[in-house]
Amino acid sequence: MNLHEYQGKEILSSFGVRVQRGIVAQTADEALAAAKKLTEETGTGWHVIKAQVHAGGRGKGGGVKLAKNLDEVREIADQIIGMNLITPQTSAEGKKVHQVLIAEDVYYPGDSEPEEYYMSVLLNRGTGRNMIMYSTEGGMDIEAVAEETPHLIFTEEIDPATGLLPFQARKVAFNLGLSGAAFKEMTKFVTALYKAYTDSDSSLFEINPVLKTSDDKIMAVDAKVTIDDNALFRRKDYAAMRDVREENPVEVEAKEVGLNYVDLDGYVVFMVNGAGLSIATMDLIKMAGGEPANFLDVGGTADAKRVEEAFRIILKDPNVKAILINIFGGIVRCDRVAQGVVDAYKNMGDAINVPIIVRLQGTNADLAKELIDNSGLDVQSAVQFQEAADKVQTVLA
């Protein structure tokens, strides 16, 4: 589950990680009140107004702006709230901004120049260990740094038995070229950040930039935090931070009825039981020259009700040209699923206006094929995987 920047910062702060202070606002009035409060608390005269959407690159898209007085705070907040923010990480339509974070300006002048670093914490799936990835090249597009100057990206892997060791935190500070007070601050920052990552059940932290202020404080200016979905049952406080407005509406609806659904760009819809078979089916469609419109795992109980719910969700996609149902009857009996398809089809009447190809294999597959073939509906049955893919191609031609 992805979080907004302001929520990520709240979590970091609760673990003692220093963050740029801010207050979230839904309206220009609230923005103004927030700015006044921040001035009282921190003494800052300037504020940054930051669009809160689940996408990075907001600065480039005009979603992060500096306000040098209260009139500008109101003006900028008014402009950003409600805007359609288009960034390199959003679709071409962009994302609607519902709220902004009013933050203290932390790029103030002082004895030294503020410096921006990159830091993330994530799981290295290759080694099965968490790692801290960091770079002196912060504040910019880290993908570009990885492409052009990969030697400027460092990684530090953590042994789960010992956790992050003090020498590792010092190594990070050293590699970032720090000394004196900033060095000490960075070791504290890294230590707190790693503890926050493990103790919050997160699967990703990306802090870009981590800032060294002109008076040698180290703080998170941005925060991309992803909480592991599998931990949400024991993280009710984090689960409550979910903002469904930021998620794909069809995927949200599918989740509510217990279906595993991921929206994709293609036009061949498929309904499969089991994640492994779903992935194999996607490959098959691709190899046959088609483009999958979705990933849909209906799970082990593919009865008429579930098939019908799945049909309703699938058919919301206007690009759909064919439906491929691929079921392996292990615990579930193929004839039950076939009956489910037939019943759902009949219940839905005219709502289904694209050809359906059903491939059923396993327990009672013959019975299932008979049921489909004798149903009198526009449903084609196949027994072999390849046969099913070929039939999809035929109906599309």
Q: What are the residue numbers of the active site?
A: 118, 206
Instruction: For Mn ion, give the closer residue by CB, 81 or 210.
Output: 210
210 touches which of ligand GDP, Mn ion, none (CB within 5 to 8 A by kind)? Answer: none
Site string for ligand GDP, 211-230 (x = CB under 6 A): ----------xx--------
Instruction: For Mn ion, give the closer residue by CB, 185 or 222.
Output: 222
Q: How far apart are CA 376 and CA 373, in angstroms?
A: 7
For 279, the enclosing helix (H) or strand (E) is helix 275-287
CB of 48 to ligand GDP, least distance (A): 4
Instruction: For ligand GDP, give the closer residue by CB, 4 or 333.
Output: 4
How many H helices and E strands in the chain? 13, 18
Count of residues of this chain found to bind ligand GDP when the rule CB under 6 A is applied: 17
**Could you tell me if 120 and 206 are in contact, meaning their C-beta atoms sit under 8 angstroms apart?**
yes
Determine if 48 is a binding residue for ligand GDP (CB under 6 A).
Answer: yes
Determine if 107 is a binding residue for ligand GDP (CB under 6 A).
Answer: yes
Q: How far apart are CA 354 and CA 357, in angstroms?
A: 10
Taking alpha carbons only, the member of 253, 276, 269 closest to residue 321 is: 269
CB of 105 to Mn ion, least distance (A): 16
- Kindly tell me the burial class for residue 76, based on how many C-beta atoms sit within 10 Å of its own C-beta (0-12, 13-18, 19 or more): buried
Q: Strands 100-104 and 22-25: what pairing?
A: antiparallel
Distance of CA 134 to the CA centre of its chain: 21
Q: How far apart are CA 195 and CA 191, in angstroms?
A: 6
139 touches which of ligand GDP, Mn ion, none (CB within 5 to 8 A by kind)? Answer: ligand GDP
- CA angle (216, 220, 222) in 5-degree steps: 140
Q: Strands 356-362 and 379-382: what pairing?
A: parallel
CB of 62 to ligand GDP, least distance (A): 10
Residue 155 Rama label (left phi>0; alpha psi -120 to 50; beta): beta
How far apart are the two ends of the chain, measured CA to CA in Å? 40
Determine if 185 is a binding residue for ligand GDP (CB under 6 A).
Answer: no
Candidates 58, 306, 336, 359: give the one binding ligand GDP (CB under 6 A): 58
Instruction: For Mn ion, give the closer residue by CB, 45 or 94.
Output: 94
User: Which span sits near ligand GDP by CB under 6 A: 53-61, 67-75, 168-176, 327-335?
Assistant: 53-61
Determine if 52 is a binding residue for Mn ion (CB under 5 A).
Answer: no
Q: How far apart are CA 364 and CA 379, in angstroms?
A: 18
CB of 56 to Mn ion, least distance (A): 6
**Could you tell me if 195 and 205 are in contact, meaning their C-beta atoms sit under 8 angstroms apart?**
no
Determine if 62 is a binding residue for ligand GDP (CB under 6 A).
Answer: no
Candidates 8, 22, 56, 329: give the one binding ligand GDP (CB under 6 A): 56
CB of 16 to ligand GDP, least distance (A): 21
CB of 58 to Mn ion, least distance (A): 7
Determine if 208 is a binding residue for Mn ion (CB under 5 A).
Answer: yes
Site string for ligand GDP, 7-46 (x = CB under 6 A): ----------------------------------------
Dump strand ranges (E) for 100-233.
Answer: 100-104, 115-124, 129-135, 153-157, 202-212, 218-220, 224-227
Determine if 57 is a binding residue for ligand GDP (CB under 6 A).
Answer: yes
Q: Looking only at residues 132 through 151 of this chain, which bind ligand GDP when binding is defined by CB under 6 A? A: 139
Instruction: For ligand GDP, give the closer residue by CB, 52 or 381.
Output: 52
Determine if 94 is a binding residue for ligand GDP (CB under 6 A).
Answer: no
Residue 201 Rama label (left phi>0; alpha psi -120 to 50; beta): left
Where do contacts with Mn ion occur on this chain (CB under 5 A)? Answer: 208, 222
- Binding residues (CB under 6 A) for ligand GDP: these are 48, 50, 56-59, 64, 66, 103, 105-107, 139, 208-209, 221-222
